[in-house]
Amino acid sequence: MSRKAVDQNVGFALQVESPRILSVPQKHEITVPEGVVRIRLEEYLFERFRGLSRMYIRDVIRSGQCEVNGRIENKGKRVSSGDFLEIELDQDRESAMVPQEFPLTIVYEDNEIIVIDKPAGMLVHPTHREKSGTILNALNHHLNQENGEKFVRPGLVHRLDKETSGLLLVAKSTRAHRILARHFRLKSVEKRYVALVEGLIKDKKGTIEAPIGRFAKEKSWGVKPDGKPAETRFNVLERREDSTLVELEPITGRTNQLRIHCAAIGHPIVGDIKRGGRESERLCLHASSLLFRHPTSGNEVHLQSAQPKWS
């Protein structure tokens, strides 16, 4: 069984074979070596098991399958030389981070960070079902071609849906990842999107406030009275015959927030068939602007990506 990932804008196709390996997690017993002083548990394990994804290792810790000196700990536990770790890991998951060579549109890169202009239709990171053909697979190849012994692990500090295109910021070191993740938590990073939505929005600008939660039975996310608070600002850029081009700024970062909020006000995003949008070649949602402070210099970095041509 194979899968073909194709992007119309970039113009490439990658054929990969879907792995069919079923394996049992193995127990690892580790004594933290000399020289390690108060490093976060998750960071130590990321470096120890370089081929495994951050998402998977965090899930293992969260599920209670990692003990430090005989006690189940969380990912923030500080470990030092002499600490004894016991953890159950599925080593076959290393295939999720296999380097793969295919085109990347790089908007910015230095020693600490890299910003990619992600195509629509491509996953950012491997999942349990799709372990190849993702942005992280390509980044693993790009960042480690000429590094010899030094392994650079790309660290996601935010995500874009598979169907969404645009700017994606990735850290190239644990330190940069920690700093940028804090900036995102503190909401000091400004993200803006452009979207083509159904119908004509009357107001020039406004704010959408509607709590978002998960509906367990349907296994989907939507507006839910007991959900988490969510806020999106919008600004109309252009009114067309039967659609509106808008700029969206997510103040909060809930799952599928922009899609849910646009549908909630009666203007689903074109291509979001599930929420009432018409069929389209792609979801008409693009991460067009990113403003953040560099994790080393502290200087403001403002990057932009051109809006796709949506008919």
Rounded to an integer, what is the distance from CA 17 to the centroid of its chain?
23
Verify whether residue 59 is a known catalytic residue: no
| Tokens at 51, concatenated | 């081929």
| 174-185 helix and 41-48 helix, angle to the nearest 10 degrees | 140
DSSP structural state of residue 150: P
Region of 300 (left: φ > 0; alpha: ψ -120 to 50; beta: rest) is beta
161, 226, 242, 272: the catalytic one is 161
* Single-letter code of the amino acid located at 195: A
- β strands within 24-161, DSSP E: 26-31, 39-40, 66-68, 71-72, 78-79, 84-89, 106-109, 113-118, 155-156
What is the three-class DSSP state of 39? strand
3-state helix, strand, coil in the chain (%, to 5): 20, 35, 50
- How far apart CA 96 and CA 101 sit, in angstroms, is 14
Residue 222 CA: distances (Å) to CA of 49, 188, 201, 225, 254: 36, 26, 21, 10, 10
- How far apart CA 66 and CA 88 sit, in angstroms, is 7
Residues annotated as catalytic are: 161
